[in-house]
Amino acid sequence: MSIISKDISKAIELLNNDELVAIPTETVYGLAGNIFSENAVKSIFKTKKRPSFNPLIVHIASKNRLSNIVSYIPIKAQLLADAFWPGPITLVLPKKEIIPDLITSGKPTVAVRVPNHPITLQLLNQLEFPLAAPSANPFSNISPTKPEHVENYFKHDIKMVLDGGPCKRGIESTIIGFEKDEPIIYRLGSTPIEEIERVIGKISIKNKEEISPKAPGMLERHYAPKTKTILTDDLTKSIKFHSDKRIGLLIFNDILNDDNIQFKVVLSEGSNLYEAASKLYDALHQLDEQELDIIIAEKLPNYGLGKSINDRLSRATKC
């Protein structure tokens, strides 16, 4: 029996009883629980097999509630909240004492965002607590952008996926932290740097940190299919090199035909990076189901959302 349902009152009932519900957002589906319930938060870590050192994002209903969660808001953080919320930006700020250490993995900071999905905003408005929600995939696997992806991962572990259809943006939020009041990108994501810089000026990126990562999305291998996957900017050469194998292709816009290709997904025939981002994870899920020997992914143009997509692909292809 499917656990996918549109019943918001059922989701509220489960969440009030310390249970987990997968929720839709504009980026990816989240595995949500009450931030103040120790049982719920522990079961998020357990269900995802997520190491306890990786903190969770707190989801709130509106930017007016930010001051309930954090103790200090730098001017540029407020500008970002005003410009982008509800939307795919997560702010990392000093936490208020009421935020449990379990959520932040003992850090003095907390990650917060207002997701832009009508059903989840309705849900958050009706709950008396914010929701902790990491992406609803087992640790290091491909993130889910459709209710069925979550069901495939967790049908034996959770009672409900709140059905909000396919996620419109398709890759996770951009995470921004502050060091001496200056913003730093900790994770590239659905909001391109260029849009952020239009609001607050130049921003630096600290997207790679191999020891003690600031965000696990920064771990080298992440978002990964089970099938061996490589990233290339020379498709023809890579296809030739692997011609003795069952090849799956993930390409940006080209209709490339080659007898060696068993299966292929084109991300955006019209070369639109937003469309490509929204289809990326579903394409990886599809390719991973084809029993291929190798997935060859094409590097996208390295600007705007292309930069975020390339970041995810390079992590998906790390051994």
Q: 19: which residues sit within 8 A by CB, 6+ positions away?
A: 33, 40, 158, 159
Report the residue number, 27 or 238, with the smaller CB distance to ligand TXA. Answer: 27
State the residue number with the nearest CB to Mg ion.
Answer: 135
3-class DSSP assignment, residue 249: strand
Which of ligand TXA, Mg ion, none does residue 162 bind (CB under 5 to 8 Å by kind)?
Answer: none
Output the six-digit token pair for 138.
């087992």
Distance of alpha carbon 242 from the chain centroid: 31
Query: Nearest distance from residue 187's CB to ligand TXA, in Å?
Result: 6
Report the residue number, 77 or 133, with the smaller CB distance to ligand TXA. Answer: 133
- Residues at the contact surface with Mg ion, assessed by CB under 5 A: 135
Which of Mg ion, ligand TXA, none does residue 187 bind (CB under 5 to 8 Å by kind)?
Answer: ligand TXA
Query: Nearest distance from residue 62's CB to ligand TXA, in Å?
Result: 15
**What's the maximum distance between 2 C-alpha atoms anywhere in the chain?**
61
| Helices 75-84/193-200 angle, 10° precision | 120
The residues that bridge with 170 in the sheet, in sequence order, are none
Which of ligand TXA, Mg ion, none does residue 54 bind (CB under 5 to 8 Å by kind)?
Answer: ligand TXA
Strands (E), 106-251: 109-113, 131-132, 161-162, 174-179, 182-187, 204-205, 229-232, 247-251
Query: Nearest distance from residue 54's CB to ligand TXA, in Å?
Result: 5
Could you tell me which stretch among 34-42, 61-69, 103-111, 254-262 binds ligand TXA (CB under 6 A)? 103-111
Based on DSSP, count helices (H) and strands (E) in the chain, helices before strands: 11, 15
Report the residue number, 103 or 267, with the smaller CB distance to ligand TXA. Answer: 103
Q: Determine if 115 is a binding residue for ligand TXA (CB under 6 A).
A: yes
Could you tell me which stretch among 53-61, 68-76, 148-156, 285-293 binds ligand TXA (CB under 6 A)? 53-61
Q: Determine if 133 is a binding residue for ligand TXA (CB under 6 A).
A: yes
Query: Nearest distance from residue 64's CB to ligand TXA, in Å?
Result: 19
Strands (E), the chain: 4-5, 21-23, 30-34, 57-59, 89-94, 109-113, 131-132, 161-162, 174-179, 182-187, 204-205, 229-232, 247-251, 261-266, 294-298
Q: Determine if 55 is a binding residue for ligand TXA (CB under 6 A).
A: yes
Number of residues binding to ligand TXA, judged by CB under 6 A: 30
Could you tell me which stretch among 21-29, 68-76, 147-155, 238-246 binds ligand TXA (CB under 6 A)? 21-29
Report the residue number, 136 or 239, with the smaller CB distance to ligand TXA. Answer: 136
Q: Determine if 110 is a binding residue for ligand TXA (CB under 6 A).
A: yes
Q: Is 262 exposed, middle or buried (0-12, 13-18, 19+ CB in 10 A)?
A: middle
Helix (H) or strand (E) holding 306: helix 305-316
Nearest residue to 229 (alpha-carbon basis) of 317, 313, 141:
317
Chain positions 175 to 194 lying near ligand TXA, rule: CB under 6 A, are: 175, 177, 186-187
∠174-123-173 over CA atoms, to 5°?
5
Q: Determine if 87 is a binding residue for ligand TXA (CB under 6 A).
A: no
Report the residue number, 164 or 177, with the smaller CB distance to ligand TXA. Answer: 177
Contacts to ligand TXA by CB under 6 A: 25, 27-28, 30, 54-57, 88, 90, 92, 104, 107, 109-111, 115, 133-135, 172-173, 175, 177, 186-187, 214-217
